[in-house]
Amino acid sequence: MFAYIIRRILATIPVMAVVALFVFSLLHLSPGDPAVIIAGDTATLDDIARIRQKLGLDQPLYVQFATWVWGLLHGDLGISIFTNLPVSKLIAQRVEPTLTLTISTLLVSVLAAVPMGVVAAWKAGSWIDRLVMVFAVLGFSVPVFVLAYLLIYVFAISADLLPVQGFVTIGGGLWPFLSHLVMPTLALGMVFAALIARMTRASMLDVLAQDYIRTAQAKGLANDKVLIGHALKNAAVPIATIIGIGVAALISGVVVTETVFAIPGLGRLTVDAILRRDYPIIQGIILAFSAAYVLINLLVDLSYTLLDPRIRY
């Protein structure tokens, strides 16, 4: 087990190396001269040369890459072109809203979707099953921004129950914190919950058809023990896998959700950086999101041995 953990951790190193190479290439694969694009139409040749020097574009490509990687190894993600602030500082300032929204979405989605998928599989073919499948199809088909605007119209404009935009830390009070988090969590969570519910149902249907489930039922075990103690326990690995895979969709959804609700998180910072062509910020955020995705998938892989004792590495 310990050897497997070490191997999986070491396996993330080449993955992050490829990601770093891709992120570095963004600056050079973008059409046109980045310095000219950043400088604008009214810039002089001296302005363009100054920007090229600031970005290090006047140096050979291998020198640029080596300098950039050396900075990464020391926690230096570069300096923002427009704010002249360290990218790591800007990310640290914006990480709390994004982390809060992501965690709340994960909790709400998993706690709602797994029971829905279990009940739908248990009542396969009934109106409950059809209702869950309708939710799964609609939730995964409707874009996040459409759900967000619908929630704004219903709860903020029509009912005037929740604030439309912004973010309040928990230090500002429990209700202000929750009220600003409800609609973004629901909008982003519906998509994620639909994916988990559908996979949970499919995995549970496969397990419920096994002989040992029928044997457990024939022995007179209660339904809750059969569903939770036998079926769900053996269906946990595919569910954990889809949760890890769905994090990619969750990360992209965070960008859209934060933009709609004007949440000052990493998603909003990403949009602003793209609009201003602030390449160091874009590179830093992509690295941060990629590292988070790799870490979550690593944790999912490690959880397999806990969820299913039959798995041994």
pLDDT tens digit sequence for 152-172: 998 988 888 888 888 888 888
Question: Does the pLDDT of residue 86 top 60, yes or no?
Answer: yes
For 37, 93, 280, the CA distances from 274, given in Å and listed in that order, are 12, 18, 10
Q: For the segment 28-59, what is each residue's pLDDT rounded down to a tens digit? A: 666 666 677 666 667 777 777 887 777 777 77
CATH number of 91-307: 1.10.3720.10
Question: Does the pLDDT of residue 178 top 80, yes or no?
Answer: yes
pLDDT for the residue 11: 80
Average pLDDT of the residues in 184-201: 89
Average pLDDT of the residues in 212-240: 78
Q: Tokens for 87?
A: 């990218």
Beta bridge partners of 79: 86
| Cα 194 to Cα 255: distance, rounded to the nearest angstrom | 19
SS3 79: strand
The CA R_g of the chain, rounded to the nearest whole Å, is 24
Collect all residues with Cβ–Cβ distance below 8 Å to 15 and sequence separation of at least 6: 294
Collect all residues with Cβ–Cβ distance below 8 Å to 226 and sequence separation of at least 6: 213, 216, 217
Average pLDDT of the residues in 301-309: 75
In this structure, the chain runs to a length of 313
Apex 200 CA angle, 133 and 258, nearest 5: 75
pLDDT for the residue 34: 66
For 1, 109, 158, 199, 312, the CA distances from 193, given in Å and listed in that order, are 31, 4, 26, 10, 30
The values of phi and psi at residue 212, to 5°, are: -70, -25
Q: Tokens for 175?
A: 């209700």
Q: What is the mean pLDDT of the chain?
A: 82
Q: Please list the residue range(s) of the chain that carry CATH number 1.10.3720.10.
A: 91-307
Average pLDDT of the residues in 288-311: 79
Q: Which of 170, 167, 195, 188 is nearest to 255 (CA)?
A: 188
Amino acid identity, residue 2?
Answer: F
Q: Tokens for 116?
A: 């829905």
Q: Which of 299, 304, 310 is nearest to 237 (CA)?
A: 304
Q: Are the beta carbons of 181 and 101 closer than 8 angstroms?
A: yes
pLDDT grade for 5, boundaries at 50, 70 and 90: confident
pLDDT for the residue 131: 92
